[in-house]
Amino acid sequence: MNLQEILDEISEKYPHGLSNDSVIRKINQIQVELFRTTFKINTMWNDDIISDVFSYSLPCARSSVIDVLVNDCEYIYQDVKKTAGVPFYYFTDGDELGIYPTPTEDNIGGLTIFYNREPYKLTTSDLSVSPELDEDFHMLLVYGALVQIAENFNDVAMVNNYTAKYNGLIEEFQKANDETPDYPVIEDVMGGLI
């Protein structure tokens, strides 16, 4: 479904009189939440390391960072307000990422950040665009928006109805994307070679 079809579906299921901007704001909020919690897409970003520069702009929100590699060595996150227990680490401040120790040499492509990608923001200026969420689950955006719209009108029965449908689709999505193998797995409990 494209954005216009999603807006139409919402209006058909619960006539509301809200502006498209208001409904799209709700859809964007749901998309961000789904990408943060359920529909994670891992992405990689590279930057050059410059000698004597410890701070680099983040390509994402700091809560989306999964892993940081500096010159192919993994750095772990360290809160700068605590004593560092490791010799190499990274920290974040706003939209900046700091690495310690400060690099002493330039290295092209030496900084690699793995992060959970955030969805692009939907707007009223292009209603023909389709959300990035898996097309089979665009109804999550419909029911998620309907929950919030029904809350605006204090319609408790419809909030409960749409929440149940939303949660059912979340369960279906998680089953469809379950990476657990459907065959028995031999677990090495003794720590030796199998």
In a domain, 188, yes or no: no
pLDDT grade, residue 67 (50/70/90)?
very high
Query: Where is the domain boundary, 116, 136, 163?
Result: 116
Answer yes or no: do 36 and 129 share one domain: yes
Question: Using one digit for the tens of pLDDT, what is the confidence trace for 91-143?
Answer: 888 889 999 889 999 999 999 999 998 899 999 999 999 998 889 899 999 99
Quick one: CA torsion of 53, 59, 63, 64, rounded to 10 degrees? -130
In a domain, 191, yes or no: no
Q: Nearest CA to 77 among 94, 97, 57?
A: 97
Say how many domains are in the chain. 2
Which structural domain range is residue 80 located in? 42-116
Answer yes or no: do 85 and 70 share one domain: yes
pTM given for the model:
0.73
Instruction: Give 129's DSSP letter.
Output: P
Beta strands in the chain (DSSP E): 42-49, 55-57, 65-70, 73-77, 89-93, 96-100, 107-116
